[in-house]
Chains A and B, each alone.
Chain A
Amino acid sequence: MTDKMFEVFEFYPASEEKPQEMVEIVTGEDTFEISAMPEAPIADIILAETPEVNAAEEKKKKRISQRTKNRISNTIIHIALAVMCVVWILPFIGIVFESFRCESTGVVGYILPKHWGFDNYVRLFKETKFPTWFGNTLLMGVVTAVVQTAFQLAVAYVLSRFRFKGRKFLMNLILVFGMFPGFMTLILLYTWMHDWHLTDANAPYGLIIIYVASSGMGYYIAKGFFDTISKSLDEAARVDGATRMQIFFKLILPLSKPIVIYTVLMGFMGPWGDFVMASFMANNETGGYNVAAGLQWLIDEPAKKDMNYTTFCAGGVVVAFPITVLFLLLQKYYVAGVTGGAVKG
């Protein structure tokens, strides 16, 4: 309460007469009401105080100078934004150019290729295991997206709607264990999965289990969304005789389309970028890599980099293109999820 009320009052620049005005308004009243009082009356008083004389002329002058000022600043901002966009987009254009470069395969000091062609793409699909990697990643992406969504929504819904013994404990458990770096457990997970023959060439299956198993810990964003759906809806449905399960599936889920799509999108995109777990689990067995581990493996030594750098860029384009299109199509939902998550923490 107090914090907010300070902020409201801070917005008025410190001038000589105003505080006293406020005091006069205020003194007659109960102190508590001041804090709840909207700022409008004060603004009115300030307005009323400005002299009417010459007001029109000055306003005109001000408006003109304001307009030119605005125009200048807008031009500057437009230029700045254009420069920024170039800086942001240039590396990606660079990757595309590299992928079409035919005269050499290593890192070079110029952007535009001297000979254009599809050599790198041909090499990517014929000479490397890229199709396998792509298949692996696609499989992981689809399965993870489905199961992770189910898990995250389940946990988020329960923590948002149910009050049961151990709820606080569960939330604290997830909070505390979420603070440990996940890489710590690499060696244990590898050994474990190795016992079940889910590493090396079978790494994608082991990775799916690892991705999915802990996904309940990322419930925060979905919970924040469920919290915003009014509970009186649930109660109304309960009165009408719906069970909790029916409420979840028939009422809440249809209302949560943005967050469902966001969770699916995140689950799908996760495996495409993860190369730590993927390379560790596959353990030098290139057949079990995902695209990230595989493409990184192509250029992880200087000699290999000279051989494969353009191929790597071609792979990057092939991977980035579908994801970017998907992402741009579902951008609306991504923004909703990210913004909601940021506000609610």
Chain B
Amino acid sequence: MSKRETMELAIGGEMLPMHPLLNFKYQGERYAAFTPADSADPSEEGEVALTHVTTKIESSNGSVDLSAIKSNDNLERKLLLILSTCIIYLVLALCISFTTLVFVLWPKFWWIGMMLIIIGVVALIMLFPLHIAYAQLRKQRRLQGLQKVTCYEVVPCEGNDPIFAEFEIRYQILEKLSKNQQLSMLEYQRLNFRQKFLYKLKMFFRGIPRWFARKFKRLGLRLKAFGISIWENIKDIGRTFKNGSWKTRVSYLFMGFGNLSHRQVLRGILFFLFEASFVVFMVLSGGHWLGKFGTLGTTAYETVYDPELGEATIRVDNSFKILLYGLLTIFFIIAFIYTWRLNVKQCRILDEITATGKRVKSSKEDIQSLADNEFHKTLLSLPVLGIVMFTVLPIIFMILVGFTNYDYHYDGYGNLFTWCGLDNFNTLFAFGSKLSLAFGEILAWTLIWAVVATFSNYFLGMFVAMMINKKGIKIKKFWRTILVMTIAIPQFISLLYVSNLFAENGIVNATLMRWGWIKNPIPFWGNGTLAKVMVLVINIWVGIPYLMLITTGILMNIPADLYESAQIDGANAFQQFCKITMPYMLFVTGPYLLTNFVSNINNFNVIYLLTQGGPRHFAWGEVGGYVAGDTTILITWLFGITTGSEASYKMASVIGTLIFLVVSIISLIVFTIMPSTRREEDYA
């Protein structure tokens, strides 16, 4: 069916109430876009295809007739479409060829092949919808009439004579409630529960390709910006040298000379000292460390002849130190390059300032500004130095260790260790080996543990908080205080006690046996499944007080009138919980849930203090003198391997890197799904 509407609107003015079927929106003065209004007659809902638009603009200058329906199929979108198709086939082809290569040539690296296959599948899953999304976007724009209709520029005539534009729009209703259409709020309300759920699910999956498209775009832009900024920096360095004064040119070699000659004594001295210390460090030790960084040392001992002592053995290389100080040297070099660039930039600025005849900042003003506008530098210096030296550097060091054969035997002291590429990953993923079996099971249990621990604590904690919060409950403060008190007591005391409580000769077993309920002690820590359940239950015991505290405050923030009006409507307690409490809580505590999940993946205390990772699985073999068990999660495994009798630092590092991968992937997914995490800059 085809329809024909004519309407008027004032250009540049407020939107006038129009025919109920169509709803005009202004996008600037030059563009008008329109959508079928939400309040359309339900029988006519559906996709609307514009077939024809004429625009007639009347002004006191006379009337202009425009027949305009501009297609929105611009080149960019077409290109994207072609590009996405190309990328899909390219990625697929690359993955297939590389996978075959890997499987045929290096069967040892089968896991790289698997990763490639996964990347290929992911690329298919992600890029194909991307491709479809662009195709659909095009179609949708055309169908829904969202395309921009160019309104020809009209010069307002003299006086207050309003200009009227008359649009004649013909459109066609194609299909009722098309699958691609996003529902308006009213339409959404008409759906029943199941349909609502399906709709949300559908919208979620439809959102994924759009999210990826955005991410890819942003990544591309960022890379581009990064490249451009580097290129600009290089150009600027060259330009400064060409145009700068002789003082500036000297400071290319002697840092701080420019500042000194402009009487910025403090900055000049600091720059110079930095350069001097860098040169001294590089000459004395940095070059030495860096030179051996590639091999991590070649000779552990050397026999030298000493005229006084005779023959003596001395230690020459220490792989550990070479790796560590080599890394430090690299850090230092990066810092030097940055400072040097800063020095050049400052010289240019000083040149510019003196050229305009202004006064340069004195050292005294520099120091003063450190307490004022540059106060953040003062505040951040020590904490950031601490973070870089004690977190960033050690973690990068340990990641690198994963690519060496550093362990108890090759300790880098008596026996030097060296780079070994991906060998450790190969060992861990070796198909069908004991270790890979252990890794798979431990990873699975870690994830199960984290999910169950997080959500059981969350819901039960909320439940307890609601019980205490309920109207008519007496001595609320007392209940809360008792629970809060248990937070204060260090976990190693309470957990070690509880672990003994459930021991074979512990109180629980003894009591049950005394009552005659059981004949033999229940092996709470001896049976794998039972131990897992026990760990989860005791974790609830540990976690509920925290969650009770956190949720109490938030629960009290929910406006009471929401509940009142729900009660008037006859909603029972369960309905109120599902429809009011849960959405609100999930929205507010979303980020906390994620943090809690991550901290549960790394929840060392509960597992280690209760079971030490046992009951042991000797079939899995030992790594670094540590035998993993049923309740071992990745972090306790890592700890066991690091502290075992034959510590295997390389495997610990590999596991640590894998924990990072797991955590970061999960966080990335959750961050993109949850609405409340996206608003991090809301207060800014």
Q: Chain A residues in contact with chain B, CB under 8 A?
A: 2-3, 5-7, 9-14, 19, 22-23, 26-27, 31, 34-35, 39, 43, 46-47, 70, 73-74, 77-78, 80-81, 84-85, 87-89, 91-92, 94-95, 98, 107-111, 151-152, 154-155, 157-158, 160, 162-164, 170, 173-174, 176-177, 179-189, 191-192, 209-210, 212-217, 227-228, 243-245, 248, 269, 272-273, 275-276, 280, 291-292, 295-296, 299, 305, 309, 312-313, 316, 319-320, 323-324, 326-328, 331, 334-335, 338-339, 341-345
Let me know if B479 and A81 touch, CB within 8 A: yes
Q: In the bound complex, do residue A35 and residue B639 qualify as a contact, i.e. CB atoms below 8 Å apart?
A: no
Closest CB of chain B to A51's CB: distance in Å?
14
Shortest distance from the beta carbon of B487 to any chain A beta carbon, whole Å? 7
CB neighbours of B207 from chain A (8 A): none
A31 to B501 CA separation, bound complex (whole angstroms): 63
B485 touching A324 by the CB < 8 A rule?
A: yes
| Contact between chains at A19 and B652 (CB < 8 Å) | no
What does the 1/0 interface line of B369-403 toward A look like (CB < 8 Å)?
00111011011101110110111101101100000
Q: Do residues A328 and B479 form an inter-chain contact, with CB atoms below 8 A?
A: no
Q: A215–B386 contact, CB under 8 A?
A: yes
Bound complex: CA A168 to CA B546 (Å): 31
Interchain CB contact under 8 A, B398 and A185: yes
* Other-chain contact of B391, A85, A158, A177, A339 (Cβ < 8 Å): A177
Instruction: Supply 14 further A-B pairs (C-beta < 8 A) apart from A170-B380, A327-B488.
Output: A11-B579, A11-B580, A31-B23, A31-B184, A70-B472, A74-B473, A78-B474, A80-B467, A92-B489, A109-B513, A155-B380, A174-B387, A181-B638, A320-B493
The SS class assigned to the A binding surface is helix
A185 with B472, Cβ < 8 A, contacts A7-B583, A213-B389, A320-B489 known: no
Q: Any chain A CB within 8 A of the CB of B565?
A: yes
Q: Is the CB of A276 within 8 A of B639?
A: yes
Question: Contact check: which of B189, B634, B683 meets A228 at CB < 8 Å?
Answer: B683
A14 touches which of B37, B192, B398, B492 (Cβ 8 Å): B192
How many A-B pairs have beta carbons closer than 8 Å: the answer is: 319
Residues of B with C-beta under 8 A to A184: 394-395, 398, 638, 652-653, 656
Are the CB atoms of A339 and B553 closer together than 8 Å? yes
Q: Is the CB of A22 within 8 A of B186?
A: yes
* Residues of B close to A275: CB separation below 8 A: 492
- Give B432-467 as 1s and 0s: 1 = Cβ < 8 Å from A's Cβ atoms: 000000000000000000000000000000001001
* Interface size grouping (class) on chain B: 35 or more
Contact with A along B172-190 (1 / 0, CB 8 A): 0000000000001110111
Q: Does B362 contact A (CB under 8 A)?
A: no
Q: Kindly provide the distance from the CB of A193 to the nearest chain B CB, expressed in whole angstroms.
A: 10
**B371 and A324 form a contact (CB under 8 A):** no
CA distance A211 to B371 in the complex (A): 27
**Shortest Cβ distance from B676 into A: residue:** A345
Q: Is there contact, CB below 8 Å, between A213 and B386?
A: yes
> What residue of chain B has the Cβ atom nearest to residue A95's Cβ?
B497
- Per-position 1/0 for B461-497, Cβ under 8 A of A: 0001001101011100001011111111111111011
Partner of A324, one of B389, B489, B513: B489
From known contacts A244-B372, A320-B489, infer whether A187 and B649 are also in contact, taking CB-CB under 8 Å. yes
Whether B570 sits at the interface, judged by CB under 8 Å, is yes
